[in-house]
Amino acid sequence: MSEQHAQEFKIVIVDDADFSKRTTAKILEDAGYNVAATASSSEEGLRAFGSIASISLFIIDIVMPGSSGLQLAQRLSELKFKGAIIMMSSLSMESVMIEALSVGAVDYLKKPFSPKDLLKAVQKVEEELGKDRL
């Protein structure tokens, strides 16, 4: 019943909250997406970027110990990451959302988000990246 997505569309989830990370991965995997890695910190996310070829999408929590998700997004931009970034957070301040978009995020999900909202955001990224390849 789950829709299959291109296996080359690789997703990395970066979130220090294990429950959130596992839940996000399960929703995506159940929908047929390739979750290539999960990471608990910005540093682990950078290691995944360095070791996994052709990541299409990072889904990054903003508030994490050490380097924030915003700092990770900025670093990925500096490293010429060619995919997309979706930021997620329980913070709903407009200034945080604006900052997330300013460091390269294409979308912002407010935690807790519904599976439908997550899948809609990821499908939008998948479609946009697919258009760029045409």
pLDDT in tens, 50-63: 999 899 999 999 99
Residue 19 · residue 64 · CB < 8 Å: no
pLDDT in tens, 27-75: 999 999 999 999 999 999 999 999 998 999 999 999 998 999 999 999 9
Give the predicted TM-score (pTM) of the model: 0.92
Q: What is the pLDDT of residue 4?
A: 56
Lowest mean pLDDT among 10-24, 27-41, 98-112: 98-112
DSSP string, 42-109: HHHHHHHHHHSTTEEEEEEES--SSS-HHHHHHHHHHTT--SEEEEEES---HHHHHHHHHTT-SEEE
Q: What is the pLDDT of residue 131?
A: 66
Q: What is the pLDDT of residue 3?
A: 54
CA distances from 43 to 24, 53, 66, 71 (A): 20, 17, 9, 10
More confident residue, 95 or 75: 75
